[in-house]
Structure 1
Amino acid sequence: MAGSAGAPYRATGAFDSQRQDAPTLTTDFYARFEAECLPRIADAIGRQLRRVQLHALPAEAPNHPPRLRMTGDGPAELRRHAHPLDVTLAWDGLEVQRLFAAGGEARFAGYLAALPGKLRAWQEPRGIDFGSLSQADPAILIGGLDFEH
């Protein structure tokens, strides 16, 4: 898995705003999302899709959450679709902020548990095949994501 701009991605901490060693509460929801949630999302996806490389991407603009890019390339003769895997996941900013409100941790835990089903459901309508690491379009953005399950 990969982290910021291609560095190895290591999930190091749990999303827990109640930890005794947690830093002072900040209103920078997107920095918290990047530090506390994105590693857990990458870890959950990485457990399901072991051959996919995961890269944290910085926010496209100020006051936007960071994104997660999923890439992979298998043998061309085994591809279901014409292009190698290149999918970017982008979450809705207000949904990210809601994670840090009351009940956010439970919502996030439910989202992580639902991710395997979400990954399967995204494939057909978007022309993605995680098994062959291929997709119909050169790049795919799955944006406006929420944390419902």
Structure 2
Amino acid sequence: MIPFSKIGKIGGGTGHSSNYLRARRSSDASQSERQWVKLIMWLRIMFILLLAHCLSALPAPEFDDQNSKTWSAEEACSEVTITTLMENQADPTCRTYVYCYVVNGSVYSLIRSCKSNQYFDHNLKMCRSEVPAECSAEAPTN
């Protein structure tokens, strides 16, 4: 059996035992805090990975065609100040082009066709027998 005088010193005395217990409790508390911080960190990482996985699995948003402007020859020609030729963006085959001309300060547009077996090259601004890389030689089938 432990004498009463020694029990008092262990529990709340000013000796080395008391300091050791306080340091031990402090060490246990800081270790417990570190464990909680690690747990929270891992939970955050798992949440972020789960969120990234869910977002990458979503389908791509549909293109909103109602808000986009459709291309028109008149609008494209409205930006020119001198007579010029430009590609017809509505023709993927490049068999036609837009002829923009200026008369008395007013700009007009005409959609013209290249000769048979010729394609409009927008870099050279002329019709040629070679099909430009960005064009399809075949007419689109609907």
Q: Check whether TM > 0.5.
A: no
From the CA coordinates, give the structure whose radius of gyration is larger.
2
With CA pairs under 8 Å and 6+ residues apart, which has the higher RCO, 1 or 2? 1
| Category of TM-score, reference length = shorter chain | under 0.3
Q: TM-score, normalised by structure 2?
A: 0.20
